Amino acid sequence: MATSPAQAGNERVRDLADQASGGSQARLRRSSTGRGRRAVIGATAILVLAVIAGVSIGPVSVPLGVIADTLAAHLPWHPAVSVPPIDAAIIWQIRLPRVLLGALVGSMLAGGGAAYQGVFRNPLADPYLLGVAAGAGLGATAVIISGGGLGLLPVAAFGGGVAAVALTYSLGAGAGRRGEDAAPRGVAGTASILLAGIAVAALLTAAQTYLQQAHTQTLQSVYAWILGGLSNATWSQAWLIVPYVVISGLILLAHRRLLDVLRVGEAEAGALGVNVPRLRLIVVIAATLGVAAAVSVSGLIGFVGIIVPHLARLTAGASYRIVMPVSMIGGAAFLVLADIAARTVQPDTEVPIGVITAAIGAPFFLFVLRSRRARAETS
């Protein structure tokens, strides 16, 4: 989609992609795809278990039989079951949408993080890099302080996030074009886009902070949004973001091979016929739509977008053919699990989910990082 290289070029791209993922030889290729398949299957299994646990575990203990009956009651041609209405409401209207929304948001944050890391060839990139978070925060704050209906909140957050990235991109790419003489085209583009992202985020955050401090009576609502969470998840929120998740996910998955080519370098990928600026634009648009949709319903949940893609890399190798799907599935599982912790660490009350993602994610990540390095040193 991003490029239409000649058939021969296509072959070379594929070879290079294999080289980049560490196996130009057939034997290596086979073992790496086997490992990738195992990683995808493993992540999917964890996700399924996480969803089952997410529906079963909560501050209110509902017997498993009642949970099963509640779910059965929503199947077509369901058997006649009677469940206590309060328990049924807790499972079907509170817990299930929360679990599903967590999975959707987690997959978008992790997928978006992997995409940004790939397209900017920067391991520290996270989905908020180009200002989605700052723009969404400004949009949400504006709605909250103006007392606009809460129905507007996700729209404003989404619009703010997308507008911020559009601003970053147009400023950064424009600056890169002017600096073309001094540096190779692609390099200048990447650096100036990242710098523009930092500047735009700082500017929008300043505006958001100003608005928020000038309207102290709504501080609590603003902070609650910024801290993020899934505690108010509804079915309609889940349905609202499904189209974005599907479209964004499919586009990112379709470009994972080109992201592998990009790993060898922008100039090299360009020489192979990859239209790097166009690839970058498509991937950024897809990732931004997905991440902005996720942020619009869940607020700013940190750490998922950076930790999950790296976990995927550490366990399944560096090729985006595997990293992308494993990040999406793993991100979904990670956020569902983190949310279980958020609502059960202190039963009956809530812990901000961002605290959980960082508190669990950081040590776990360091553990995996260390054990991987230890294994690499001994082998």
Partner 1 sequence: MTQVMTRRLVAVALAAGLVAAACSSTATQPQSGSGSPGGPGHASASGTFPVSVTAANGTVHVSKRPTAIVSLSPTATEMLYAIGAGAQVKAVDSNSNYPAQAPRTKLSYFSPNVEEIAAERPDLVVVSNDSSNGPTLTKRLAAFSIPVLELPAPANLAGVYAEFAQLGQATGHQQQASTEVSTIRDQIRKILAAVPHRSKPLTYYYELDQNYYSVTSDTFIGRLLRLLGMKSIADSAQGASAAGGYPQLSAEFIVKANPDYIILADTICCHQTALTVAGRPGWSGMAAVKSKHLILLNDDIASRWGPRVVDLLRAVLAAIRGGR
Q: Which residues contribute to the site for partner 1 (CB under 8 A)?
A: 58-60, 85-86, 89-90, 92-95, 97, 124-126, 128-129, 133, 147, 149-150, 198, 201, 205, 213, 216-221, 223-224, 226-227, 229, 231-235, 300, 302-303, 306, 343, 346-350, 352, 354-355, 358
Nearer to partner 1, 2 or 227 (CB): 227
Distance CA 64, CA 36 (A): 34
Q: What is the dihedral of CA 346, 297, 338, 370, to 10 degrees?
A: -140
Output the smallest distance, CB 60 to partner 1, in A. Answer: 4
> Which CB sits closer to partner 1, 3 or 205?
205
Our CB check for partner 1 shows the closer of 75 and 214 to be 214
Please state whether 126 falls in left (phi above 0), alpha (psi between -120 and 50) or beta: beta
Q: How far is the CB of 22 from partner 1 (least distance, A)?
A: 26
Shorter beta-carbon distance to partner 1: residue 202 or 271: 202
Nearest alpha-carbon partner for 191 in 102, 253, 125, 110: 125
CB neighbour list of residue 40: distance below 8 Å, 6 or more residues apart: 316, 322, 325, 326, 329
Q: C-beta of 315: minimal distance to partner 1 in Å? A: 21
Which residue lies nearer to partner 1 by CB, 113 or 249?
Answer: 113
**Minimal distance in Å, beta carbon 233 to partner 1?**
8
DSSP code per residue over 272-331: TT--HHHHHHHHHHHHHHHHHHHHHHH----SHHHHHHHHHHHHH-S-HHHHHHHHHHHH
Nearer to partner 1, 190 or 319 (CB): 190
Q: Using alpha carbons, select from 258, 132, 119 the residue that is nearest to residue 190.
A: 119
C-alpha–C-alpha distance, residues 57 and 375, integer Å: 36
In angstroms, give the least distance from the CB of 228 to partner 1. Answer: 9
Residues 206 and 226: their CA atoms lie apart, in Å, by 14
Helix (H, G, I), strand (E, B) or coil at 232: coil
What sign for the dihedral angle of Cα 153, 157, 158, 159?
positive
Measured CA distances, 20 to 24, 267, 280 (Å) = 8, 15, 18
Q: Looking at beta carbons only, is 40 or 115 nearer to partner 1?
A: 115
Q: How far is the CB of 2 from partner 1 (least distance, A)?
A: 26
| 228 versus 277: smaller Cβ distance to partner 1 | 228
State how far the Cα of 126 lies from the Cα of 309, in Å rounded to an integer.
10
CA-wise closest residue to 46 among 375, 281, 364 = 364
Shortest Å distance, C-beta 28 to partner 1: 32
The CB-of-48 to partner 1 minimum distance in angstroms stands at 22
Q: Which is nearer to partner 1, 36 or 197 (CB)?
A: 197
